[in-house]
Structure 1
Amino acid sequence: MEKSWKEAIKKVLAESSIPLHYTEISEQILSRGYYVTDGATPAATVNAQLTSSIKHDGEKSPFMRVGKGLFALKNSLATSIALSPASIPDKLEALAESDMESSDSIIQSFGMYWQRDLVVWRNDSKMYGKQQALSKPVDFGKQKGIYILYDHHTVVYVGRSIDRPLGKRLFEHTVDRLGSRWNRFSWFGLLDVTQEGSLREISLNTSLAGLVATLEALLIEALEPPQNRKRGDDFSAMEYIQDIDPELKEREIQNTLRSIEQKMRGGS
């Protein structure tokens, strides 16, 4: 295991024959055990480390930005595959394209097609998500923004959670007229996520172009039109994958233990 984020980043880039997006770098660092963190935003941390090194270390920085969000080691560029879009895997190309311009998107984070039955629904519901599989879970129950309810992949309702947080708003939909009509949901949040995993409001200075780009991105994410290869211009929000509520995990463990106990009693 490396002693710092910087050393871990260098190791991942040294092992790659192509430039990597900072989200891919952070995923490889955690999955390979090159660095351990209890932070909730490892991808953002990696991006900050790379950007800071290039800005402050100048020519002495070991890193080079080869596209918005794409990085490589300087001494590996000569031996890497040509740095053209055709040489970058589709996943990384899409990430790079979504970052090509500076962003003023009002959406800070989002989750797609989360499962209703992985949340313990109550008046102050907690909704857990992770930036990456091995990162710290974040509770988005207090998030504010826009949400979509689905019956599998069919949209049945679109709403907003401004005066009431997202967790409370969705809980209400478990007991109202929509209660039996949805089993998945997506959300697009206005609150930013800190490194510690809490939510915070940030000042928004969004231009008309930024608002239009955000609307385009929301439609692309929700409708998934087959001819759109990227989310939309200026949409730099971080996607979070759903994590099961710890209370449900505990219930599952207890049920398993009871089942084992019953089998042991039956066999004695």
Structure 2
Amino acid sequence: MSVATIRGHRPPTVSTVIAMTKAKATHLIGAYGMFWQRQEIDWDAGHGQTYQLLGYRGDRNPKLEVADFRRARGIYVLFNDFGATYVGRARGNEGFGSRLKKHNASQRKDWNRFCWFSFDSILPINGEPNWRTVARDEGARNVHAESAIDELEALMITSFGLHGTQNRMRLPTAREPWKQLTFDDCAPGKVGRRFDGARVRMGSLRRSLEWD
């Protein structure tokens, strides 16, 4: 199955902009991903391509959701085969993608996986049923202290894999984690073939999508 011609990144519709502006988040963590693989990302993308942090939730329509978290803001943790090696934050105009790309270029960082926890909200994109966009709102300032404490506890439990009886807690709004969209996920019959791939611009994923 071939992929449709790449379209330009559509600007948000008026209704999406209004929703993003009015967003009054009652959560601290709006989305998160667990142990994504460094090697699955084309950090040095060629001409006409770009690196992306593409994630998905759900395996089949209508529950399948896809989003690029490159510009999302929040906290991230780098891991090697033995455990966490670095904790950082992505804020301002620098999303996770920018920060992680700098770590990838650094010879001083020892890591092969990463977890990320975004404070931003995730909204639908009109006319594209599976795709979602990161809403860079400031709603976290509206979160009550008790809710923030609960979510920070859940973040630590989730990030460091503390799954004992006393530590069973989920991030309330973020629900299940976003899975990393990988090269294998885009092979025939896999989840990457179940949504419009026109927004996929990372070379390795597009090559997999274009194979029959």
Superposition TM-score, scaled by structure 2 size? 0.63
Residue type matched to 1:226 in 2?
H
Cα displacement (A) at 1:195: 1.6
Residue 128 in 1 paired to residue 82 in 2? Answer: no
Partner of 1:200: 135
Residue 241 in 1 paired to residue 179 in 2? Answer: yes
Structure 1 residues 145 and 122, CA gap change in structure 2 (3 angstroms): farther
Residue type matched to 1:119 in 2?
I
Residue correspondences, number: 152
- For the aligned residues, what is the CA RMSD? 2.6
Between 1:220-229 and 1:161-170, the stretch displaced more is 220-229
Percent sequence identity is 24
Structure 1 residues 226 and 194, CA gap change in structure 2 (3 angstroms): closer
Structure 1 residues 206 and 253, CA gap change in structure 2 (3 angstroms): closer
Structure 1: which 5+ residue stretches go unaligned? 1-102, 258-268
Alignment of 1:54-203 (within 5 A): 104-122=26-44, 125-134=51-60, 135-152=64-81, 154-163=83-92, 164-179=94-109, 181-196=110-125, 197-202=132-137, 203=139
Contact 1:150–1:157, Cα closer than 8 Å, also in 2: yes
Which of the pair is proportionally richer in helix?
1
**Equivalent residue in structure 1 for 2:163, among 217, 226, 229:** 226
Q: Could you report, residue by residue, the CA deviation over 1:205-232 in whole angstroms, capped at 9, with x for unpaired residues?
A: 1111112112101110111123145225
Residue type matched to 2:152 in 1?
L
Q: For residues 172 and 209 of structure 2, what CA distance do their matches in structure 1 show? A: 40
Partner of 1:85: none
Q: For residues 210 and 178 of structure 1, what CA distance do their matches in structure 2 show? A: 36
Name the SS of the counterpart of 2:111 in structure 1: coil
Q: Which structure has the larger Rg over C-alpha atoms?
A: 1
Contact 2:74–2:117, Cα closer than 8 Å, also in 1: yes
Which of the pair is proportionally richer in strand?
2
Structure 2: which 5+ residue stretches go unaligned? 1-24, 126-131, 184-201
Superposition TM-score, scaled by structure 1 size? 0.51
Contact 2:36–2:114, Cα closer than 8 Å, also in 1: yes
Q: 4+ residue stretches of structure 1 with deviation over 2 A?
A: 122-125, 201-204, 228-232, 249-254
Q: Which has the higher contact order (CA 8 A, sep 6+)?
A: 2
Q: For residues 26 and 87 of structure 2, what CA distance do their matches in structure 1 show? A: 24
Q: Could you report, residue by residue, the CA deviation over 1:168-223 in whole angstroms, capped at 9, with x for unpaired residues?
A: 100000111444x1110000001111122111133231111112112101110111
Q: Could you report, residue by residue, the CA deviation over 1:61-93 in whole angstroms, capped at 9, with x for unpaired residues?
A: xxxxxxxxxxxxxxxxxxxxxxxxxxxxxxxxx
Contact 1:213–1:235, Cα closer than 8 Å, also in 2: no
Structure 1 residues 195 and 158, CA gap change in structure 2 (3 angstroms): same
